[in-house]
Amino acid sequence: MLRMLSFLKPYRLPIAVALFLTLLELAVELWQPLLMAKIIDEGILKNDLSVVIKWGIFMVGISLIAFISGIVNSFFASQTSQSFAYDVRKELFGKIQAFSFSNLQKFETASLITRMTYDVTQLQNTVFMSLRIMLRAPLLIVFGMIMALVVNIKLALMLIITIPLLVGFLIYVMTKARKLFQSVQDKLDNVNGVMRENLSGMRLIKAFVRWKHETNRFFYANQQLKDRTVTTLRLIELTMPVLLLLMNGSILAILWFGSIDVNTGEAQVGEVVAIINYATRITGALSVFSWIIMHFSRARASSQRLVEVLDTEVDLIENNEPNSLPRAEGNVTFKNVEFTYPGTKTKVLQKMSFSVEAGKTLAVLGATGSGKSTFFQLIPRLYDATSGSVSIDDVDVKSVSLDELRKQIGFVPQEALLFTGTIKENIKWGNQHASMDEIIEVAKSAQIHETIIKFPLQYETIIGQKGVNLSGGQKQRISIARALVRNPRILLLDDSTSALDLKTEAKLLAELRRYKCTTIIITSKIYTAMAADSILLIEDGKVIGLGSHEELSETSPFYQKVVESQFGEGAHKYVSANS
């Protein structure tokens, strides 16, 4: 909690003002029963109207001050709590942006969203409430008791015995509630997770007629959230009847003994009224106090979840004095690279060594799961190699600034991901400075221009969330255009032409040559591989062959089998790059 409270440091002044105003309100609240006693005993009982008018006007005056203080306090409290939440969200977002993939693997996406929204809101509400009433409730309880003692010690003792017992009970219940609240938040993560998967996989769910299964999954997560919340709230709600029972009991006792004392002349009517008044105010403050502790239990659980994200060490660290890679030639070299995914034990890449000359095209072929996408991710440092080195123009990628490195790489992932916005914006996303002419040029190279101009709004066509209104091949080509507009030195295509027909793909590959960048293309199609300068064969994370189509057709049984699987038995003997 302290870690999160440090976000309030810049707002010390508004906090001080808000707290001062709270104290002012409190002072008025504590003073009022005393004034009321004075009006009853010295004015009403003695039939002195001037005392009633004088102190009556005074009471209205200080109530007005309390009213204005309350309004100004609310203003400062809401401004401070909103700014606090803004700062926390900003810091969290920055942290998540800096996360490496292995960092991200630690947190579920849905959980990160819940933390950024629900948990931050919980803290924001607590900050607001703290500035409005946090100080007031406990102080009202303490000073209310003191004032009651000042008015009449004997009658006040009935309050003094009850209140510490109640406060102890409240604190005990709320400490228990904290753990329960944390699990409520975890259950909320589950609901969000199921919702997220459900919405993004809606087409698949409908196509497989799995809505019943998905609905059951959602019902289960929802039920768990409800059950856990109900258990938690039941515990919390137990406090209110206990509180009212004890406080009303002590008020009854004050009335009983007070009336006896008034009859015997040991107490005045005004004193009894004042103590009852303090008791009622303290009851109100106690119920607010229990509410505060409940919010604090929730806020503590939320803080813990936020601190978990904020204090996660980013494990992809930039070199303190990064090497410069002003404008790479584009030679890519892997030397004895090994890689194991964080949290797993299996080596996905083993002693991988190969190089690609600047400006050349390398096709990568391998069975599914052989480690092709994994080795791709080491080049822009989405992950770091566990051992060995990945270098560009003989500079180890780990020694280069991440920005400088990534600016020179055009990466088209296996799943073409587009953002909500126009086609133009999506292509421009790769390079904010690209002109319309450049956008059209890369779209032409990516073989998507002709398709775009057939849309009624052409480049201004809005792409729905994740590109729902486009075909797989259209999305792939827009993603390629987005990578090309960066004018990259190294272009990484992870099976990014899989949805294209052979003719369109051939045109696209021929166009790519114009960009003179080093192109590494993962593919399963022999025709695509044949268009490259050389072909890298991967099996179980190991390089098992590197050469041209002709060389591998002669020397690699693995390659021969792939060719035969696509062109028929014995095909490796006659399928050539010119065919």
Ligand X SMILES: Nc1ncnc2c1ncn2[C@@H]1O[C@H](COP(=O)(O)OP(=O)(O)OP(=O)(O)O)[C@@H](O)[C@H]1O
Site residues, ligand X (CB under 6 A): 341, 344, 348, 366, 368-374, 414
Shortest distance, position 538 Cβ to ligand X, whole Å: 7
Closer CB to ligand X, 373 or 504, in the complex? 373
Shortest distance, position 284 Cβ to ligand X, whole Å: 55
Are 475 and 498 contacting, i.e. CB atoms less than 8 angstroms apart?
no
Cα angle value 291/281/254 (rounded, 5°): 125
Structure-token pair, residue 489? 């030195």
User: Which one-letter amino acid corresponds to residue 540?
Assistant: D
User: Which one-letter amino acid corresponds to residue 83?
Assistant: S
Closer CB to ligand X, 110 or 134, in the complex? 110
Are 248 and 179 contacting, i.e. CB atoms less than 8 angstroms apart?
no
Shortest distance, position 430 Cβ to ligand X, whole Å: 23
Shortest distance, position 369 Cβ to ligand X, whole Å: 4
338 strand-pairing partners: 387
DSSP string, 486-535: T--SEEEEESTTTTS-HHHHHHHHHHHGGGT-EEEEE-S-HHHHHTSSEE
Closer CB to ligand X, 285 or 537, in the complex? 537
* 317-320 contact pairs (CB < 8 A, 24+): 318/401, 318/402, 319/398, 319/399, 319/400, 319/401
DSSP string, 75-133: HHHHHHHHHHHHHHHHHHHHHHHH--HHHHHHS-HHHHHHIIIIIHHHHHHHHHHIIII
Closer CB to ligand X, 297 or 528, in the complex? 528
- Rounded Cα–Cα distance for residues 499 and 478 (Å): 13
Shortest distance, position 425 Cβ to ligand X, whole Å: 29
Q: What are the start-end ranges of the H helices in 265-312?
A: 269-310
Shortest distance, position 10 Cβ to ligand X, whole Å: 38
Shortest distance, position 579 Cβ to ligand X, whole Å: 25
For the chain, how big is the Rg over CA atoms in Å? 36
Closer CB to ligand X, 352 or 512, in the complex? 352
Shortest distance, position 520 Cβ to ligand X, whole Å: 13
Closer CB to ligand X, 195 or 367, in the complex? 367
Q: What are the start-end ranges of the H helices in 322-466?
A: 372-378, 402-407, 423-428, 436-445, 449-452
Closer CB to ligand X, 369 or 464, in the complex? 369
Closer CB to ligand X, 121 or 414, in the complex? 414
249: Cβ contacts below 8 Å, ≥ 6 apart: 162
Are 244 and 283 contacting, i.e. CB atoms less than 8 angstroms apart?
yes
Closer CB to ligand X, 374 or 496, in the complex? 374
* Torsion-angle region of 48 (φ positive above 0: left; ψ -120 to 50: alpha; else: beta): beta
345: Cβ contacts below 8 Å, ≥ 6 apart: none
531: Cβ contacts below 8 Å, ≥ 6 apart: 361, 363, 506, 509, 510, 577
- Is 391 strand, coil or helix? strand
Shortest distance, position 340 Cβ to ligand X, whole Å: 9
Shortest distance, position 366 Cβ to ligand X, whole Å: 5
Closer CB to ligand X, 203 or 345, in the complex? 345
Shortest distance, position 338 Cβ to ligand X, whole Å: 13
Closer CB to ligand X, 371 or 473, in the complex? 371
Closer CB to ligand X, 54 or 347, in the complex? 347
Closer CB to ligand X, 112 or 151, in the complex? 112
Shortest distance, position 103 Cβ to ligand X, whole Å: 12
Q: Three-state secondary structure along 530-544? A: HCCCEEEEEECCEEE
Shortest distance, position 309 Cβ to ligand X, whole Å: 19
Are 245 and 239 contacting, i.e. CB atoms less than 8 angstroms apart?
no
378: Cβ contacts below 8 Å, ≥ 6 apart: 334, 337, 339, 349, 384, 385, 390, 397
Closer CB to ligand X, 40 or 348, in the complex? 348
Shortest distance, position 446 Cβ to ligand X, whole Å: 21
In the chain, DSSP finds a helix count (H) and a strand count (E) of 22, 12
- Rounded Cα–Cα distance for residues 259 and 282 (Å): 21
Shortest distance, position 545 Cβ to ligand X, whole Å: 15
Are 75 and 17 contacting, i.e. CB atoms less than 8 angstroms apart?
no
Closer CB to ligand X, 82 or 565, in the complex? 565
* Torsion-angle region of 351 (φ positive above 0: left; ψ -120 to 50: alpha; else: beta): left
CA-wise closest residue to 451 among 462, 460, 443: 443
